[in-house]
Amino acid sequence: MNFIFYAMERKFVTVVILWMILVMHLNLSPASAQALNSNPALDEKVKKFLNDHSRRWYDMNIPLADGQLLYDIIIKNNYKSALEIGTSTGHSGIWIAWALSKTGGKLITIEIDEGRHREALQNFKDAGLSEYIDARLADAHKLVKELKGPFDFVFSDADKEWYKNYFIDVDPKLKPGGCFTAHNVYDSGRGYRGYGGQGIFLEYVRSQPNYETSVNSNGGGVSISYKKSDK
């Protein structure tokens, strides 16, 4: 009988310890540091929009896997102030803004082509995310320099030869702990996969001692650079 009670007591203590470890883990995770906003109606509207348009993202838009990646990065780190360089017709912006609707943030997105800009505005509206997006029709070469920031998340998907310049212009406005991502970037290969503007950018950002950079190749290739400190 004493053995049975002893075994039960040990089992109870083990369960309590495991529960405490779980609670500590949840309290320490960035996304749980502040409760995410819950809006089931908006979630359903965005999901339906993305599903209905899943085969329509032709004009320089990201694949679904990259949209999910950007969404996850923002949610995980509780980012609130995002910049997108290169809106196209809005697929990536929808994923980013959807995440920001949960963290309480907002996106500034820049597109130089008027037709794509207009289509993106309509897509943002149809997805129910317009209030989380400040869409600018502008030349990113000029506007990125003028924006004051600060930002904690950046997604670059405009002209590839300017990737390094965009990074240099945004770096002083990116908060420590923030993340700079860029599309169509791969570790190796030819053309846009390893050389050209993307290759020059990747080599440069990896040379920065205050950034930690990796490359996700599950979709269209996304470099992910976390800013560890200002210098």
Distance between first and last Cα of the chain: 64
Q: Report the pLDDT averaged over residues 212-220.
A: 94
pTM, 2 dp:
0.82
Which burial class, exposed, middle or buried, applies to 45 when counting CB atoms under 10 A from its CB (0-12, 13-18, 19+)? middle
pLDDT tens column, 13-39: 333 333 343 333 333 344 444 578 999
pLDDT tens column, 83-126: 999 999 999 999 999 999 999 999 999 999 999 999 999 999 99
Give bridge partners of residue 83 from the DSSP assignment: 108, 154
Buried (b) or exposed (e) across 105-120, using 16+ Cβ within 10 A? bebbbbbbbeebbebb
Q: What pLDDT sits at residue 22?
A: 35
pLDDT tens column, 173-201: 999 999 999 999 998 654 444 568 999 99
Contact 76/176 with Cβ under 8 angstroms? no
Q: What pLDDT sits at residue 195?
A: 61
The pLDDT-based confidence of 74 (bands split at 50, 70, 90) is: very high
Q: How many residues belong to the chain? A: 231
Q: What pLDDT sits at residue 35?
A: 78
Q: What pLDDT sits at residue 102?
A: 98
